[in-house]
Amino acid sequence: MTAKALPKRSEVDPQLTWDLTTIFANQADFQAELVAVKTLAQQLKKTAVTKFISANTLQAATEQVLQLNRRFEKVRVFAELQNDVETTVPSTQAALVQTEQLDNLVSEAQAWYPNAVVATGATLITTWLKSYPSLQTYHRFLELNLRAAGHLLPVNQEQLLAQATQIFNAPEKIFNQLDSSDLPFPTVTDEQGNRVQLSNGRYGLLLESTQQAVRAETFHKTYEVYQQFQNTFATTLGSQVNANNFSARVHHFESAQAQALFENEVPQSVFDTLITEVHRHLPLLQRYVALRKRFLHTEQLHMYDMYVPLATSPQTKYTFAEAKQLARQALQVLGPTYQQLMETAFKQRWIDVVENENKRTGAYSSGSYDTNPFILLNWQDNLNNVYTLVHEMGHSIHSAMTRKHQPYQTGDYSIFVAEIASTTNENLLTDYLLEHTTDDNLKKYILSLYLEGFKGTIFRQTQFAEFEKLIHHEAQRGTPLTASQLNQWYLQLNSQYYGPDLQADPEIQLEWARIPHFYYDFYVYQYATGYAAAINLAENLETGGQTARRQYFNYLQAGNSKAPLDIMKMAGVAMDQSAYLTKSFTQFEKRLAALEKLI
């Protein structure tokens, strides 16, 4: 049979694509803004001082820095979005390169500013903040710059590092290009006997097949490709780790992890508590693995058996239109303001829906302060993709509400809280589905998806975080990050997490090569902490009425106006303690027990 090819970009219904003309009407406007931002950067660089002599000069420089970044973010977002939907078009590749080159200039132009703030000193700046009301609006921004004391290099050295930004970003860029466009994925046979071309998007869908032969072929054929390129992927990942370690070392941090935590105002204890609590609850994960083995009636459970639902649904296909309606119903508890923003996203083409040739894999929410949010999907007609929709919608509405209620300087949010709004939506969807069915088969299906989501977000992302910490530590000690060494470490960690009931399929040792988040500098642990916090918040929203909604909206609107742990305390979750994690594992165990009774 003929393989089903992905559609070309030109064949996709425009209503299922995002509308980038809301950013720039055409390429000429984009290019004009590139030139304007370059001019602003050159002007800012000429105003460099070693310290500020007055509140007026501090305010003027602060406003110049913020304006430069604000305008640059808009051009960067446009270049990234247009390239991500068709990664092989020379003109959009060139625009992205132009933006990356401009990024170097923007970073270099403002490299002197943090040093000047620190040199001016907290005492004098505090005095000015009290005496000059117009400067007070920049209090939080200045506070964050003052925190950098002790970690800044001399201005000329910071400028030199800024000039090398494109070099430091190269490993991630190479990974994305290779993974999205250049890997020669073969065809496999689907459940209907059709030959279909493998892609990163279809890989996950095919692993949910009820036919083990389909799952096995998909798994083995996919990792055959990654095995061919494992040395290249080891080189790109090793280069990224070395870049992170270099940055930490020259900025006087103990480790790359310490730098990442410091920059996000997250204590080391938050990370350590996560690892401790996940390890303490690994028997729950292994109990889930044993249930899966029992359900599938197999003597040997393989990694490719870990994604097939533990129950079948009466309706296993969800079109995008059906998904939108389900999202509206599930998120009603968030109230009319939230619903209105969601309708705006649907009607004003915030979302790029369809998987097409050479489109970036996965899903994300993007945008800048002066654009609406944008959501990238690679839609497959299953319930997992409904979860992806509400997840990314959570990001986008968080961004929209932050930008509406905060000035630019606090109009973004720490990555530590970034995954909480999205996973709160996931939990609300699960609770809605469980509450609105009396069908035991459907309930089994939803419980199965919930347990899989919990496994994939709290257990799996913590496993990734451990691996990330390990490879940075070993590289810091001088251990070469070869493909064989990465394979060995990953396989050991995977076996520790999943336990003896799961076969140690040799291909899974290569999974590290497929994970783009390993290039994001200690991002993944926040999926786990965020999901655990979201379980707490979803329960609060469902039982706490207007008070809980008001607390939650305070979080959505807070941006970066406070430290992230303080913002979460406003929302009712103390993430510097272990109780929120314990509560999430309690819910997992309760739902695991419910599924065990139904199967």
**Which pLDDT tens digit goes with each residue over 506-533?**
999 999 999 999 999 999 999 999 999 9
CA 513 to chain centre: 17
Nearest to 556 by CA among 344, 387, 338, 346: 338
What's the CA gap between 361 and 342, in Å, rounded?
24
Residue 586 lies in a domain: yes
**Is-contact 291 310, C-beta < 8 A?**
yes
Residue 213 lies in a domain: no
Same domain, 159 and 273: no
Across the chain, what does the average pLDDT equal? Answer: 94
Element (H, E) at 504: none
pLDDT tens, position by position, 237-277 = 999 999 999 999 999 999 999 999 999 999 999 999 999 99
Residue 358 lies in a domain: no
What DSSP string describes 16-73? GS--GGGT-SSHHHHHHHHHHHHHHHHHHHHT--SS-SSHHHHHHHHHHHHHHHHHHH
Mean pLDDT to the nearest integer, 560-586: 96
Nearest to 317 by CA among 205, 444, 429, 432: 205
Domain with residue 301: its CATH number is 1.10.1370.20
Catalytic center residues? 392
Domain of 82? 22-168
Mean pLDDT to the nearest integer, 497-505: 93
- Examine the pLDDT at 3 and tell me if it is beyond 60: no
pLDDT tens, position by position, 21-40 = 999 999 999 999 999 999 99
Angle at 585 between CA 580 and CA 530, to 5 degrees: 50
Residue 383 pLDDT: 83
- 522's torsion region: left (phi>0), alpha (psi -120 to 50) or beta? left
Q: Where are the alpha helices (DSSP H) in 89-150?
A: 90-109, 112-120, 122-131, 133-136, 139-146
pLDDT tens, position by position, 186-225 = 999 999 999 999 988 789 889 989 999 999 999 999 999 9
Same domain, 298 and 264: yes
Residue 1 pLDDT: 45
Residue 111 lies in a domain: yes
What's the CA gap between 291 and 270, in Å, rounded?
31
Residue 474 lies in a domain: yes
Same domain, 427 and 523: yes
Residue 206 lies in a domain: no
From 306-310, 342-346, 364-368, 561-565, the region with the lowest mean pLDDT: 306-310
Domain with residue 159: its CATH number is 1.20.140.70
Same domain, 592 and 572: yes
pLDDT tens, position by position, 174-191 = 999 898 888 999 999 999
Contacts of 542 (CB under 8 A, 6+ apart): 333, 428, 431
- Examine the pLDDT at 412 and tell me if it is beyond 80: yes
**Is-contact 303 502, C-beta < 8 A?**
yes
- If you ran DSSP here, which 8-state letter would residue 371 be given? S
Element (H, E) at 455: none
- Examine the pLDDT at 453 and tell me if it is beyond 90: no
pLDDT tens, position by position, 303-325 = 999 998 888 776 668 999 999 99
Residue 10 lies in a domain: no
| Counted domains in the chain | 2
Residue 385 pLDDT: 92
Same domain, 98 and 49: yes
Residue 347 lies in a domain: no
